[in-house]
């Protein structure tokens, strides 16, 4: 009997369209795996054990089944986006447990394409921090269960990395797709502003947050992004020598990048140079104030999201975060700091097509109850291991995380690709080159008794 667990979304959809397997059979296999393994990982807040098979049957009965790009593909949705008839709790005890009347625009597009929502995934409270833990449990990295999956799309990333679903929907306001993707060995792309419908929280953190895919292959990331954006992202750069800048410097003063990530960067740069691209060391002109700008927007976005919630029901780190943000709200609303940052970095991206950096500075923090620890400890942990992602939320430009190499523990390492506005297809093409030249194992061997330090091909 053919197993559909561990297959790509593209493979599953093709099989369903050709009626080699039914959507119910595919969904049932994935629900069985979730029930058997997720207790060790903590990816899901809500599993749709009864609703998903019924939804799969509806897909099978559609007259346009043969044309659906995601026919019968199980998908997980981050628990800050509306799924019809389900509550989205945003990782908090303070949010209302009220079922949504309608799907978020991105969920609606996935369902229209034939995908089946099998569950909602865990997030840190209000999707604020770089570890996923809280009142709904701790989400662990399937490659190294002693470590956090990262955040805030940690549940979605862990679900895909463990083979519980082939693809998942997440979003990224300061790195919340790229951070867990880098930890869990996945491909993701934070699209540029306006490419995919946002509508995340109360104002998308001033337009910094974007919805995007989490996948095990570049093909699946491209496929899912095309559905979310309602636009095809074809590779138009084949045979073109791109100008690629390589930078290993952290934009944040006082943070450094550890050796495994700088080694991965150097090896990825070498592969791209060998593939015919013009690769050279070049440092983006990050302003010294970028850390302060990021902090002001990050906290102010949470202040807006928490404004109507009972503070007594929020965790202490979230209350402090929102309180800090309230002091910055008026200044952020009137500030031109993001426009000035874009103006400063635009000449760099006029010279270079792509920027290649480490995805993270070091491995993720331990899998623990970080929501019970103080705000300073949480903020420092996040900034020390993920200083390279926030700049591209501030600019609103596309950025990817691509698996590359391994950490000493055997868990995945990763690099980041950044491009100018409208360059999503270019970034996907570069990522495809890296995957072709240095393919990665797509899912963690969680069903083989995984513990920390497990190997990775």
**Which DSSP letter does residue 340 get?**
H
Give residue-wise pLDDT tens across range 370-395: 999 999 999 999 999 999 999 999 99
What would the mean pLDDT of 155-165 be, rounded to a whole number?
98
Helix axes 316-334 and 290-306, enclosed angle (nearest 10): 110
Residue 415: in which H helix or E strand, if any? strand 412-419
Q: Please, which residues bridge with residue 169 across strands?
A: 77, 213
Q: Residue 88, SS3?
A: coil
Only one residue has tokens 């700049």, namely 391
Does residue 231 carry a catalytic annotation? no
Sign of CA dihedral 250, 43, 220, 7: positive
Q: Nearest 5°: CA angle at 189, between 185 and 191?
A: 165
> Which pair of tokens denotes residue 426?
């270019």
In 127-207, which residue ranges form alpha helices assigned H by DSSP?
Answer: 154-161, 178-184, 204-207
Band of the pLDDT at 236, cuts 50, 70, 90?
A: confident
What would the mean pLDDT of 199-206 be, rounded to a whole number?
96
Position 447 scores a pLDDT of: 84
pLDDT of 98 > 90? The answer is yes
What would the mean pLDDT of 75-91 be, rounded to a whole number?
98
Closest CA to 137 of 42, 16, 232, 28: 42
Q: Please, which residues bridge with residue 80 across strands?
A: none
pLDDT of 454 > 50? The answer is no
Distance of CA 440 to the CA centre of its chain: 18
Does residue 176 carry a catalytic annotation? yes
Give the CA distances from residue 123 to residues 79, 126, 169, 173, 424, in Å, rounded to whole numbers and listed in that order: 7, 8, 12, 13, 26
Distance CA 165, CA 47 (A): 12
What would the mean pLDDT of 226-235 be, rounded to a whole number?
95
- Which class for 109: exposed (0-12), middle (13-18), buried (19 or more C-beta within 10 A)? buried
Catalytic one among 46, 92, 148, 152?
152
**CATH fold for the domain made of 9-448:** Amidase signature (AS) enzymes (3.90.1300)
Position 450 scores a pLDDT of: 44
Average pLDDT, the chain: 96
Catalytic one among 92, 148, 153, 176?
176
HSE value, Cβ hemisphere, 13 Å, CA-based, for 326: 7
Band of the pLDDT at 238, cuts 50, 70, 90?
A: confident
Give residue-wise pLDDT tens across range 407-420: 999 999 999 999 99
Closest CA to 196 of 86, 81, 337: 81
Q: Nearest 5°: CA angle at 171, between 165 and 161?
A: 30
Give residue-wise pLDDT tens across range 131-140: 999 999 999 9
Per-domain residue ranges of the chain: 9-448
| 134 CB-near residues (< 8 Å, 6+ apart) | 91, 92, 122, 123, 124, 125, 315, 371
> Which pair of tokens denotes residue 154?
């940690």
Q: What is the DSSP string of 89-109?
A: -TT-SSS----BSS--HHHHH
Give the CA distances from residue 151 to residues 126, 251, 386, in Å, rounded to whole numbers and listed in that order: 11, 20, 10
Backbone angles phi, psi at 434, to 5 degrees: -65, -40
Band of the pLDDT at 457, cuts 50, 70, 90?
A: very low
Q: Please, which residues bridge with residue 406 across strands?
A: 412
Distance CA 229, CA 227 (A): 6
What would the mean pLDDT of 7-15 be, rounded to a whole number?
98
Distance CA 210, CA 21 (A): 34
Position 449 scores a pLDDT of: 57
Does residue 78 carry a catalytic annotation? yes
Position 288 scores a pLDDT of: 96
Sign of CA dihedral 128, 284, 363, 214: positive
Beta strands in 113-264 (DSSP E): 116-121, 133-134, 137-138, 140-141, 144-148, 167-172, 187-190, 210-215, 243-246
Query: Model-level pTM greater than 0.85?
Result: yes
> Which pair of tokens denotes residue 86?
């389900």
> Which pair of tokens denotes residue 274?
């060998």
Position 1 scores a pLDDT of: 67
Position 203 scores a pLDDT of: 93
Position 329 scores a pLDDT of: 97
Distance CA 10, CA 207 (A): 31
């Amino acid at each position: 009997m053919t197993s559909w667990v561990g297959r790509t979304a593209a493979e599953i959809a093709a099989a369903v369209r050709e009626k080699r397997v039914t959507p119910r059979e595919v969904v049932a296999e994935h629900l069985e795996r979730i029930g058997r393994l997720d207790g060790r990982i903590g990816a899901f807040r809500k599993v749709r054990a009864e609703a998903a098979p019924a939804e799969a049957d509806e897909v099978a009965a559609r007259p346009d089944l043969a044309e659906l790009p995601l026919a019968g593909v199980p998908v997980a949705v981050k628990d800050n986006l509306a799924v019809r008839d389900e509550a989205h709790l945003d990782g908090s005890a303070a949010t209302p447990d009220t079922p949504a009347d309608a799907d978020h625009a991105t969920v609606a597009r996935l369902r229209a394409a034939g995908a089946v929502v099998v569950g909602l995934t865990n997030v840190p409270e209000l999707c604020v921090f770089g570890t996923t833990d809280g009142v709904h449990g701790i989400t662990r990295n399937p490659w190294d269960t002693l470590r956090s999956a990262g955040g805030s799309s940690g549940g979605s990333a862990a679900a895909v990395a463990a083979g519980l679903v082939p693809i998942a929907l997440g979003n990224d306001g300061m790195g919340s797709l790229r951070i867990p993707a880098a930890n869990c060995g996945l491909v993701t792309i934070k699209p540029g502003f306006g490419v995919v419908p946002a509508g995340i929280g109360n104002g998308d953190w001033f337009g910094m947050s974007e919805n995007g895919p989490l996948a095990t292959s570049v093909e699946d990331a491209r496929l899912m992004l095309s559905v979310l954006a309602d636009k095809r992202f074809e590779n138009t750069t084949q045979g073109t020598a791109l100008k690629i800048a390589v930078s290993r410097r952290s934009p944040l003063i006082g943070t450094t990048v550890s050796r495994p990530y700088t080694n991965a960067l150097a090896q990825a740069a070498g592969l791209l140079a060998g593939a015919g691209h013009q690769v050279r060391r070049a440092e983006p002109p990050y302003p010294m104030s970028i850390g302060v700008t990021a902090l002001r927007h990050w906290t102010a976005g949470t202040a807006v999201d928490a404004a109507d919630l009972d503070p007594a029901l929020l965790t202490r780190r979230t209350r402090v975060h929102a309180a800090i943000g309230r002091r910055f709200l008026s200044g952020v609303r009137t500030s031109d700091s993001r426009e000035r940052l874009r103006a400063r970095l635009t000449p760099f991206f006029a010279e270079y097509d792509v920027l290649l950096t480490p995805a993270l500075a070091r491995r993720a923090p331990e899998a623990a109850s970080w929501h019970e620890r103080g705000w300073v400890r949480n903020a420092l942990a996040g900034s020390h291991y993920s200083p390279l992602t926030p700049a591209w939320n501030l600019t609103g430009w596309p950025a990817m995380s691509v698996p590359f190499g391994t950490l000493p523990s055997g868990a995945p390492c990763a690099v980041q690709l950044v491009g100018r506005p409208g360059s999503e297809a270019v970034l996907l093409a570069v990522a495809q080159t890296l995957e072709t030249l240095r393919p990665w194992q797509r899912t963690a061997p969680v069903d083989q008794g995984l513990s920390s330090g497990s190997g990775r091909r």
